[in-house]
Amino acid sequence: MRVEPGGGPDEQRLTIARAGVVLLERRAASFDLAPLRVGESLGKVAPGSDLDGDGTPDLAVVEWTGGVHASHRVRVYRLGATLRPLGSARTADPGVAAFERPTAGGPWTLRTHDWTFAGWRAAFACSPAPEVALRFGPHGPRLAWERMRRPLPAAEEAATALRADPAWARGEVPPGLWDAMLEALYAGDAPRAWSLLATAWPPGRPGQDAFRAAFLAQLAQSPYWPELSARLGL
């Protein structure tokens, strides 16, 4: 495998070949063949690591499209008898997405973010991007739910803080509200998400049902929506 200058300005070409036969050729602004690894130590994922835990060497590639916001993508390939794509995940930059190797063997986990709400009703810098944990396999990346469970602030305290957000006085819904809702959903707690919406929404203020509908419509654009909706009954 090799990365070399592509045919255009600011372009690289990734080529994977075996016995003189080209198995893969991709072009992008840049490629990184050793993504970040975290866990027991900080390092890089070496090409040939068994990322899906099936005993076959794999390759993780970070591909940059050349854009500004969340314009990198992690792609995983199985390097067996034939080259097989195992899926991809969008990320902000190589320093934000990282693989974790299990201590007892098995598939690695990629920690990245869901960027579906980037620029939705808020500037990119203020947009929530909940962390997700992914495992790659024959059917593409899948959410590793047990790796996404995390302690959340007490619901009543969170709702009180959200009600005090000055955005309400400006006639706006604060991004912190759907940030907290997304954190609850990706932790597997849909009732908490809807309870936060109901208790943080100022009494007598119209538009709660319309906001919930718009929120779900945007969430349905997520690549993880099929798993979210099936698991949480959305």
Tens of pLDDT, residues 57-76: 999 999 998 888 778 999 99
Confidence of residue 94 (pLDDT cuts 50, 70, 90): low
- State residue 87's pLDDT score: 96
Q: The tokens of 67 are what?
A: 């854009």
Q: Of 15, 42, 12, 38, nearest to 27 (Cα)?
A: 12
- State residue 191's pLDDT score: 96
Q: The tokens of 64 are what?
A: 């940059």
pTM for the complete prediction?
A: 0.91
At 180-208, the pLDDT tens digits run 999 999 999 999 999 999 999 999 999 99
Residue 90 phi, psi dihedral angles, 5° rounding: -75, 145
Confidence of residue 106 (pLDDT cuts 50, 70, 90): confident
- State residue 176's pLDDT score: 97
Residue with the two structure tokens 């047990």: 146
What is the arithmetic mean of pLDDT over 123-132? 93
What is the arithmetic mean of pLDDT over 87-110? 84
